[in-house]
Amino acid sequence: KYAFVGLPLAEFIPGGSINRDNIGVGRLCLVDKSLPADSYVQGVVILTSRAKALASWLAGTEVAGVKADLRKRELVMETDIDNQYLMAKLDDDQRREAANYEEGKDALNGLHFISVQTDENNDPAGFWLLREIPENL
């Protein structure tokens, strides 16, 4: 299972509740200080009973990000230089959520996150705060 979620940008800056001590495996990119402090960072939470195994596997790759291809109706994780993994096919409701996710990423210069958890009540087994690099660079 997965869900599109948003977390306050303030959670990722010094003094916020998300830091290297509570993300499990993964990494946190630097947050641009010029971004509006009241913004929400969009992300994908993956809920699985095998959260530790999935997070460990992802930690062995270079996670680049998650993209929603609205035209193809697909949610795709990009890793390493040229690997892509189909995470889900999107129905109409999921496609609308994915469009909001992509708009939120664009508003924060590509900043987004991936969290891997056993359920919504537990700390993540893995967490990646990422910045998507524009394709035209």
| Digit-coded pLDDT (tens) for 83-108 | 999 999 999 999 999 999 999 999 99
| Digit-coded pLDDT (tens) for 32-67 | 989 998 999 999 999 999 999 999 999 999 999 999
Query: Distance between CA 137 and CA 134 in Å, rounded?
Result: 6
User: How far out from the chain centre does Cα 81 lie?
Assistant: 18
Give which of 40, 42, 35, 56 is closest to 124, Cα–Cα.
Answer: 56
Statement: the pTM of the whole predicted model exceeds 0.75: yes
Query: Distance between CA 108 and CA 71 in Å, rounded?
Result: 22
| Digit-coded pLDDT (tens) for 5-32 | 999 999 998 888 888 888 889 999 989 9
